[in-house]
Structures are given as structure tokens and as C-alpha cells.
Amino acid sequence: MPRPRSAAPLLVSLAVLALGAGCNRCPSPPLAAAEPNAGRPATAAPVSITQTAPPQAPVQILNHDLACELDPARHWLTATATVEWEGVAASHDRLVFDLRPNLKITSLKAGDSGELTYGRDRGGAVTVRLPRPLAAGEKTTMNVAYAGEINGPRGGANKQRVWDYVGPEGTYVRFEAGWYPQLTGDSTTADISIKVPAGWSAVSSGKLVSSDGGVWHWRTDIPAMGLSFAAAKYVVTDGRAGSIPL
């Protein structure tokens, strides 16, 4: 599906976020409450999440509301995600999404229900059993809290290149790293709030809504594929390209 064009601010600092990474499809896991990959150390190659969504998925994601906090000294991301889903096929009693394998889930709920049973495979795919089937056209909200390290790995001749990194020198995390719950090829609206240390700025998809108290809030009202972000002690300069703010 081609991505719609938007008049939202063009962000030069995010130009490199179009870089992609290969993924492998993995089968859906058996349901279990265990977290077999919690605390998994960073590997020596770029981390890519699995592809779990078939071409005609029984459900789709409509909107992401993501709130995260960066702890650069620990290379740590703490986040909560409120995800709006809609059934697009016959009644379906499971949600399947991808999340970076070493991000440990601390809470997972849907709608007004309590904690839900879920399973994870080694690629990070999460399978959630709903308390009741989701019918075609019906919507539900899933709330996920999670945290973990995003630290490299480093590459290049002098180890100066970094894939998906939260650190004191600055932060750059691609959507391919699986830092939020997602389906392969999903196209959604989104609110992204990023809390950063004093003196830092955070840049993500869409239009800047606010930057109060060290929390940078970005909003994209036109469905977009792939949500990435960067953060550091940037020097911020404003300008315009015709009617488009830069």
C-alpha cells in the first residue's frame, strides 16, 4: 500500500530512518505466560523482528499511542503502548504482534479485562488470547507496558556505526528494531511521547504537538508505515519550505 503524502513538518534529522532491515517469518507460538527472552543481551548483528502478519490479516492496527522514557546511561527504554485494533475478517480470538525480543513485557491487557495470557517466540512475536472473539468491524484496545535495553550492536571499521541505540552520545531507534507493538506493513495514526534528559530534544514522525517538561509529543494524523525516533542534545533551528514548517 503506498503511503499517503502529508503536509506535516519534514524532519531532516529523520532522513536516515528510511533504512530497512531484513526479517524472517516465524510460526505463531503456543500460548504461555512465560517470558523466555527477557534480558536477552544485544547480539552482534542488527536486531530485526519477525514478520507475523499474513497478507490478509484477520485484524489490523488503527492507532498507536506510545509513551516512552529514555535512560541513556543504561541504554534503557521504558514504554507503554495503547494500541487500537479492528477486526477485518470473521470472528478472531487472538491478537498477534511483534516486539523486540529483549523488551520484557510487564503488563498486557485488552479493553476492560485484567491481565491476558500470551506467549512469545524467540523472534519476539507475541500471541495474545482475547477474553472473547473480535468480530469483523469491531474495535478493541490493547495496553502493553514493557522495558529493556536497546544498545547496538556497533559495526564498521572502527566500530563507529550503531544500529538502534539508546545512549549518552545520542539515540537513534528505527521501527525495524521492534521498539513498539506492530504488524508487518501496518499503516496507522499515532501519538508518540518521548521523555528525555534535561537539555535533550526528541524527534519522531508527524507534527510536534508540545515539548514541555522534557517530554516531546509528536502526532501523525495520516496513517504512516513505521514509527522511528531520534534524541540527543540537538541545536534546534526553525524554518519553512513554502507552507511546510521545518
Give pLDDT, residue 48: 53
Q: What is the pLDDT of residue 42?
A: 41
**Cis-peptide into 168, omega within 30 deg:** no
In CATH, which superfamily holds the domain spanning 26-37+60-234?
tricorn interacting facor f3 domain (2.60.40.1730)
pLDDT at position 44, please? 46
CB-CB neighbours of 38 under 10 Å: 16
Domain locations in the chain as residue ranges = 26-37+60-234
* Of 173, 181, 148, residue with least CA distance to 38: 148
pLDDT on residue 180: 96
Q: What is the 3-state secondary structure (H, E, C) of the chain?
A: CCCCCCCCCCCHHHHHHHCCCCCCECCCCCCCCCCCCCCCCCCCCCCCCCECCCCCCCEEEEEEEEEEEEEHHHCEEEEEEEEEEEECCCCEEEEEEECCCCCEEEEEEECCCCECCEEECCCCEEEEEEEEEECECCEEEEEEEEEEECECCEECCCCCEECCEEECCEEEECHHHCCCCECCCCCEEEEEEEECCCCCEEEECCEEEEEECCEEEEEEEEEECCCCEEEECCCCCCCEECCEEC
pTM of the model: 0.74
Residues 6+ apart with CB under 8 A from 225: 1, 3, 185, 186, 187
- Please state, in angstroms and rounded to a whole number, the distance separating the CA atoms of residues 118 and 176: 22
The pLDDT averaged over each successive group of 10 residues in the chain (246 residues) is 42 36 36 40 50 63 97 97 89 87 93 84 90 86 95 74 87 93 91 97 94 95 94 92 89
CB 123 within 8 A of CB 176: no
Cell of 168: 549518552
User: Is 124:164 a contact under the CB 8 Å cutoff?
Assistant: no
Return the pLDDT at 77: 97
